[in-house]
Amino acid sequence: MPMTETVRDDGARMVTASRAAAELELRRGEFGLAVHLGIVLVDVRQVGGRVRVRQEEIDRLRSEDGFPQALRERVRTVGTAEGARLLGISPVRFTRLARAGCVTPVAFYLNRYRAVVWLYLAQELGGLAARSPELLVGNSPLWMRSRLDAGTDCRARNWRSRRIERLLALTEDPWARAAVVAEALDPVQLAEVVDDPYERSYFGRIRPEPVFGQRGSAAGREAMAQLMLADEPDEILWRRVTLGMELDGARELRPAPRPGEERWPGAEVEPAAAAAGVPGASAEPAVPTGPTGPAGSRDALAERSQSVTPEGGGRGGAGRDRGGAPGLLARLRLRRTQGSRRPPRAAGGRGNPLATDTRARHSLHHVDQGSNR
């Protein structure tokens, strides 16, 4: 086995995500979905935040009955046509069930026309047939007809809620939890709840990342960002309230780092496996983790902080450390002072954000197709 694919952590043998997927006989999208659903447990407490899987976890899954077919069936996704065949109904009726919220998508991808194609877990469709067989035959219930006549489409909202709930269940760090909830609010809503720009910037740094890194097209990533935004008043209100509660807990634990401040152990949360729910398009689902930090780094941090002059004095030696180099705070003050002396630009000049045309937001069309990517 290549040395780059195996590491040791606390005496435990660890393998990379690619190696684990190969040993579990799963495709990349299937492995990302398995991580997102909690079927495969990963460890991202490694340098650089790269996903690692314990060999004992792989051995556990390989020893289960029916491997690998049983494991693949747990992460098998189907589109509308195949899902309708599994339930023994027409694709039109299946679409009505999905729009009414009877089945929840677990993933999506963009087809050649950049339209959203929703995917569903095959196992969950079997559970619907056993739980509510009356939805598959005869006339639709009155509540379902009323909801569809009003133009309701619950697919995006249910997928979004499912993803957020899964990510919150997979992390204990308050700042990472707040970052997950914040992803469902647009910039205006987010700024109203979180008025500190440093905290909003911190969200972007600790937001969960895909298992295998950022993949897929720019259109897929844009679709992911747009579908993550709450678009109904009651959902927006719920996300705002939830974010406020998560933010209160995060602030009690530690403040968000400011530019020029020394980092303290555990201040940064390593990005983790993600399963954003776009197999074969933009990303896999996400798994954030708690704060990490190397042992003994607190002592090293104290030594570094003692070597920096806390405040600058006169010219020349102000804000310098013991070695004579300008301190970080002094350099930031100098940069701010120099920037404030620049002459103001004309209202219509180059670089004026008010004169720059913003790119139009692409609309997403939600369609169902039978092909699974």
CA angle 159, 217, 354 (to 5 degrees): 90
Q: Is the pLDDT of residue 90 over 80?
A: yes
Residue 183 to residue 59: CA distance in whole angstroms: 35
Q: Does the CA dihedral 173-269-32-3 come out positive or negative? A: negative
Neighbouring C-beta atoms of residue 316, cutoff 10 Å: 6
Average pLDDT of the chain is 76
How far lies 132's CA from each of 97, 123, 137, 318, in Å?
11, 14, 10, 74
Per domain, the residue ranges of the chain are 3-74, 77-153, 157-258+266-287
- CA terminus-to-terminus distance, the chain: 30
How confident is residue 211, by pLDDT bands cut at 50, 70 and 90? confident
pLDDT at position 262 over 60: no
Neighbour-count burial of 29, counting CB atoms closer than 10 A to its CB (0-12 exposed, 13-18 middle, 19+ buried): buried
What is the arithmetic mean of pLDDT over 333-360? Answer: 44
Let me know: does 32 contact 210? Beta carbons within 8 Å: yes
Question: Which contacts (CB < 8 Å, 24+ apart) does range 93-97 have?
Answer: 93/136, 94/368, 95/368, 96/140, 96/144, 96/148, 97/128, 97/135
Q: Is the pLDDT of residue 2 over 80?
A: no
pLDDT confidence of 213, banded at 50, 70, 90?
low
Q: What does the alpha-carbon distance between residue 93 and residue 361 come to, in Å, rounded to a whole number?
A: 31
Token output for 251: 């602030």
Tell me: the pLDDT tens digits for 152-205?
A: 999 999 999 999 999 998 888 999 999 999 999 999 999 999 999 999 999 988
Element (H, E) at 77: strand 77-78
> Mind listing the pLDDT tens digit for each residue in 297-312?
334 334 433 433 333 3
User: What whole-number distance in Å separates Cα of residue 4 and Cα of residue 87?
Assistant: 45
**pTM, entire model:** 0.70
